[in-house]
Amino acid sequence: MAAGHDEILARASLEGRILITLDKDFGELAVVREQAHAGIIQLVILSASQQATACVMALNRYGAELQAGAIVTVEPGRIRIRPATSHPESS
């Protein structure tokens, strides 16, 4: 995984931006490493001509979930959503 992935996800989180990506590494950072994020849309096996429509659809349909920190994966004929997980804060 490129070192820049951490910085990209951290910056998007800091700015409250939903990250749209073709790269599954961001989902791994968010899920396995529990890195903070403000929502991720992963596009899988979509042609360039399908990507914009898929993004708009995901934002319209799952905007509230994404803003809460969900990960939405869009691939041909299938959409998966991983709801935000809450982690207890350290004391």
28-87 tens-digit pLDDT: 888 888 888 999 999 999 999 999 999 999 999 999 999 999 999 999 999 999 998 754
Average pLDDT over every residue of 9-14: 92
Q: Is residue 88 part of a domain?
A: no
Q: Is residue 33 part of a domain?
A: yes
Q: Is residue 16 part of a domain?
A: yes
Q: Is residue 30 part of a domain?
A: yes
**H/E/C letters for each residue in 23-69?**
CCHHHHHHHCCCCCCCCEEEECCCCHHHHHHHHHHHHHHHHHHHHCC
Check residue 90 and give its pLDDT. Answer: 36
Q: Per the structure, how many domains does the chain have? A: 1
| Distance between CA atoms of residues 59 and 26, nearest Å | 18
| Distance between CA atoms of residues 64 and 72, nearest Å | 12
CB neighbours (10 Å) of residue 72? 25
pTM: 0.85
Q: Which domain holds residue 15?
A: 4-82
Q: Is residue 14 part of a domain?
A: yes
Q: Is residue 23 part of a domain?
A: yes
Structure tokens at 74: 């869009």
| Distance between CA atoms of residues 42 and 16, nearest Å | 17
